[in-house]
Homo-oligomer: A and B are copies of this chain.
Amino acid sequence: MKNWTHGFLLGSSYYPEQWDASMWEAEFVKMRELGHNAVRMGEFAWAFFEPSAGVFEFDWMERAIELAARYGVQTILCTPTASVPPWLFQDHPEVLGGNEKGAFRYGARKGYCTNSPRMLEAADRIVDAMGQRFGDNPHIVGWQLDNEPGFPFVCYDPRCLSAFRIWLRERYQTLGSLNDAWGAAFWSHRYTDWDQIDFPFNVGDGAWNPGQKLDYRRFFSDSFIRYLGRQGERLRPYIGDRFVCTNWPDTSWSVDLYQAAGILDVTAWDNYSRPPGLVEWQDQLHGGMHHDIARCAGPNGRFLVAEQSAQTPAHADSKGIHLQTWTDVAHGALGAIFFEWRPPLGGAEQGYISVLQLDGSFGPAYDQHKRLGAELARLGGELADAVTDADIAMLFDYENQWAQGFRVGPDGYDAEFVRWYKGLKSLGRSIDIVKPGSDLSRYRLVAAPGLRIVSEETASLLKQYVQDGGTLLLNVQSGAYDPTGKLRPLMPPGIFADIAGLVTPASVAKRSMTGNLLQGPTDQGIGVKFGVRFADGASFSPETVMEGVELRGAESIAFFTGARMEGRPAITVNRVGSGSVFYVATDSRDGGFYDALARECGGRLGIEPLCAAPPGVEAVSRRTSDWRYLFLLNHTDHRQEVSLPSPAVELLSERRVEGALVMESFDVAVLKWKA
């Protein structure tokens, strides 16, 4: 993998087209003052690059790039397709798609239809022109395609409907296969012509067929990957080995990032996790989870933070900026770009809090930015080749995320995934988050919460992993669905019932869940308080579901309490071959439940933390063949002591440390040992 710049890309987003050209140079001087070596430009500049169809003006950007380079700042150049210029919409309104309310109107951003021939044509033209003009510019370090693609989450225009029908035909070949996959016998939906397939966004009664809904999301994801891939393909002939990325706003997303990584050189994402000091420290682990997905999505085991907050509010410690950036590094980032350099005066994001203030002066986090610049200039190179070496993994699956209710709040797949992640983080080790079907042999423990849809192939791999000594964690409804989104004609947990050693003939859904998994006569139980009790007496409140488990070989290690559920299994373990399968028949809103679950599994497996860090101090490791790096991140607002396993060099302070390491609030330490 190419190490694209001075070890670590540090910079911000800048929009020269919003400012008088006479101001530019002074900005780059200030960037150098902070130790920035990168700037992201060009995003949203389409109307300035191409003021009318086929007429290009690139001189201004070339000048900006050169000015930046004069002060040691390299450019990440963006294709500007995320916001179409007024003239393009005027000429071809179809470049924008639509939603259930109708066609999109002009006046904000995005909404372009990835299946509109006119849009693709226009995107080709601007991308080609940029490639020709800037492809070999020596000051460009990499390219970003579009901006935060995959939003809005639907496009229901006629172009997408046609494309969806073609996509379905390619997927299913025959209508018989499609009818079978969708269970179309239900409600008389037996399609006899591909053109009968519609987007059912305003129906008389009922929801989308779940098979169709899942296929729509697959199609949507594929559409964006194809759209971005096309931009990448057109650029590559011009840009040599410069990297190509896009900036995903989130890893729980409408596009499958694992799959999208196939057309990119690095997975980048916009880290708007709340900065330290503003949320409970547990919530700060959230950003790390996205980092772990981005890193494992690859390619190349690295990721980029493409946007990140540049200031903290008045009542927060600006050390948060420092800590958040080092959290990026700890999880394997190759760069971090702050959003944004200077607050725009007008437009929908006017006054956005930036590195500079409205009057061009540095903001309150100046010291932290300067410190980061210096530290990363010194250490970025050394850390660039260190890789993450996790022995715990989670399986993140976009199809299950979509099928279980995409973006539905705390009951959704992704929210539950986050709760599991935080629980496993209490084991004090690094975590990989990989896609189902990955090679799991290096992991001692693999958690697959929400793996309801699973193919036979993936299920076989997981069974083999367990047979060979692995430990697998499953939960509610795991394995019950096949890849079409249909239920298997098996007692849940379906294809996993044998390795879980149980079936779940009935369940209690305390509240209605998204989708139809637990439909039926349910309620709150007339004031009964239900619980889940662990062997050590710790007790937690179940949230959305309690399955009525029947053991078929498994052993129960936690039990439900309350009314008719009293004493029934809530968490079980089943010995399979050399390994074991844990099954969790419920969920909770209480983080302690997931910590207890992790403690239970970790204890049985003898998993030890990387170092004896107190709660609130995150420990993450990276290594090269020669060196081992331990990042300690104090996410709390108070002093903490960490007991070190052995003397080490602390890289930020450049001191040798041993015994108890004292960390002030929001402090970072990077320890280094011989491997």
Contact = CB atoms under 8 A, between A and B. Distances in A.
Interface stretch (A5-13, A310-318, A421-429): A310-318
B486 A345 contact: yes
Interface string A301-319: 0000000010111111100
Nearest to A312: B521
Contacts of A309: 520-521
Contact of A348 (B197, B201, B209, B509): B209
A109 to B, nearest CB: 5
Interface stretch (A185-193, A622-630, A667-675): A185-193
B344 A105 contact: no
Given A90-B196, A363-B506, A108 B188 contact: no
Contact of A188 (B44, B195, B364, B522): B44
Interface string A374-391: 000000000000000000
Interface stretch (A27-35, A65-73, A273-281, A456-464): A273-281
Residue picked from A85, A361, A364, most chain B C-beta under 10 Å: A85
A600 B208 CA distance: 52
Nearest to A97: B204
A202 interface: yes
A15 B185 contact: yes
A351 interface: yes
B203 A489 contact: no
Interface in A554-568: 562-565, 568
Interface residues of A, number: 137
Residue picked from A84, A192, A277, A521, most chain B C-beta under 10 Å: A521
A46 B107 contact: no
Contact of A546 (B315, B487, B524): B315
Contacts of A335: none
A489 B183 contact: no
Interface stretch (A47-55, A217-225, A576-584): A47-55
Contact of A357 (B277, B315, B491, B518): B491
Nearest to A211: B346
A615 interface: no
A525 B278 contact: yes
A350 B86 contact: no
B487 A207 contact: no
A17 B185 CA distance: 6
A89 B108 CA distance: 33
Contacts of A105: 198-203
Contacts of A357: 491, 505
A111 interface: yes
A368 interface: no
A182 interface: yes
A343 interface: yes
B492 A358 contact: yes
A542 to B, nearest CB: 11
Main secondary structure of the interface of A (DSSP, over half): loop
Contacts of A526: 277-280
A59 interface: no
Given A186-B44, A311-B520, A348 B108 contact: no
A45 interface: yes
Nearest to A320: B521
A152 interface: yes
A484 interface: yes
Given A17-B185, A204-B112, A358-B489, A90 B195 contact: yes
A345 B278 CA distance: 46
B506 A314 contact: yes
Contact of A506 (B317, B352, B364): B364
A430 B197 CA distance: 52
A83 interface: yes
Contacts of A272: 521
A110 interface: yes
A360 interface: yes
A212 interface: yes
B204 A96 contact: yes
Given A90-B195, A521-B313, A202 B101 contact: yes
B47 A521 contact: no
Contacts of A18: 183, 185-186
Interface in A98-116: 98-112
A563 B507 contact: no
A163 to B, nearest CB: 17
A26 interface: no
A317 B190 contact: no
A546 B315 CA distance: 9
Interface in A527-570: 528, 530, 546-548, 562-565, 568
A349 interface: yes
A196 B491 contact: no
Contacts of A548: 313-315, 364
B278 A186 contact: no
A348 B208 contact: yes
Given A309-B521, A313-B507, A363-B506, 12 more contacts: A47-B190, A90-B195, A97-B204, A105-B202, A106-B196, A107-B209, A183-B344, A314-B565, A316-B521, A350-B516, A358-B480, A359-B490
Interface of A: 15, 17-18, 44-48, 51-52, 80, 83-87, 89-90, 96-112, 151-152, 181-193, 195-212, 272, 274-275, 277-280, 309, 311-317, 343-353, 357-361, 363-364, 480, 484-492, 505-509, 516-526, 528, 530, 546-548, 562-565, 568
22 contacts: A44-B186, A85-B188, A89-B196, A89-B198, A107-B208, A107-B212, A109-B187, A111-B203, A152-B205, A210-B347, A313-B520, A313-B523, A314-B568, A315-B565, A343-B487, A346-B487, A350-B516, A351-B518, A351-B519, A357-B491, A358-B489, A359-B489
Which 9 A-B pairs rank lowest in CB-CB distance, beginning with the nearest? Answer: A183-B346, A111-B204, A107-B200, A186-B347, A314-B548, A353-B520, A108-B206, A108-B203, A86-B196
